[in-house]
Structure 1
Amino acid sequence: MSAFGLARQLNIPRKEAQKYMDLYFERYPGVLEYMERTRAQAKEQGYVETLDGRRLYLPDIKSSNGARRAAAERAAINAPMQGTAADIIKRAMIAVDAWLQAEQPRVRMIMQVHDELVFEVHKDDVDAVAKQIHQLMENCTRLDVPLLVEVGSGENWDQAH
């Protein structure tokens, strides 16, 4: 996000938004380093990758049109994280589905929303199913950092949160 965009979103002057951004990048220099490194890599290769190696090609990364180039640069920065998150939830869905088919045929995976899976589970089975799903989701992929999963339950989606 640019200072202009932040200023519009927060309804503050652009100079004040720029100060917030400068302070953020000063406190978290690794974020700016990631952004610069990823932007440069995308320009060199013409694509970015998720941790699983899925590629997003960026034909406008070297565009002479500033707006197109900026959009491709934003995609280059966001796609590796968002794409990796999508890859991880798909791995989790596959692991959980295999377990459900083998061990819990009454349980239904009914919905996936971004990084969340929603199930229909008989109330007598909730605790055991939640424990196993939690374990399967936390261990569906190997990362250099822990993959933390929260599990909730309720009569409806709202109560489960």
Structure 2
Amino acid sequence: MRILAVSGSLRANSSNKELLRAAVTLCPTGIDMLVYEGLGALPHFNPDHDGENVEPAVTAWRSSLRNCDGVVFSVPEYAHGVPGSLKNALDWVVGGTEFVGKPVTLFNASPRGTYAQASLLETLTVMSAKVVPEASITLNPSSKPFSADEIVANPGLSAQLRSALESFAAAIRASKDAR
């Protein structure tokens, strides 16, 4: 099973990337989880630049999505919405089939990011993604910023993350069985 983990932040050590790095460490056996690092390389979405001569970064993004069984998003909130870099990435695939029926879940590194989560949920629903709410989590760390190692070492946070990953894996398996 392959899971693509996408942070909505371009910061190298953002809380959202650290959360996804911890998820990679805590992933159940048999799951290959990869943190997508190409968000910042995507050009601004322009339908006139799509097609035969599309940028390699766009082709790689689409390929990453097609070649995974599920996607985990961990997204910060900017001005009560999804960061522009992530919205741009989604715009590149909104007309495609990459998300149709694809299991996705939302991780949140801060309990204050509810507007971004709601916005992302709406976009993914419009794109026909199969959102798995029982695997979506919001961490409430006692300190910020926090690292992947600190999340893994914290019994409460690591248990919460491990449980979400197990629920997500079960939903992916069920989705595959239904096809």
Give the TM-score category using the shorter length: under 0.3
Work out which structure has the larger RCO, using CA pairs closer than 8 Å and 6 or more positions apart in sequence.
Answer: 2
The TM-score normalised by the length of structure 2 is: 0.22
Higher helix share goes to which structure? Answer: 1
Please, what TM-score do these two structures have when normalized by structure 1? 0.24
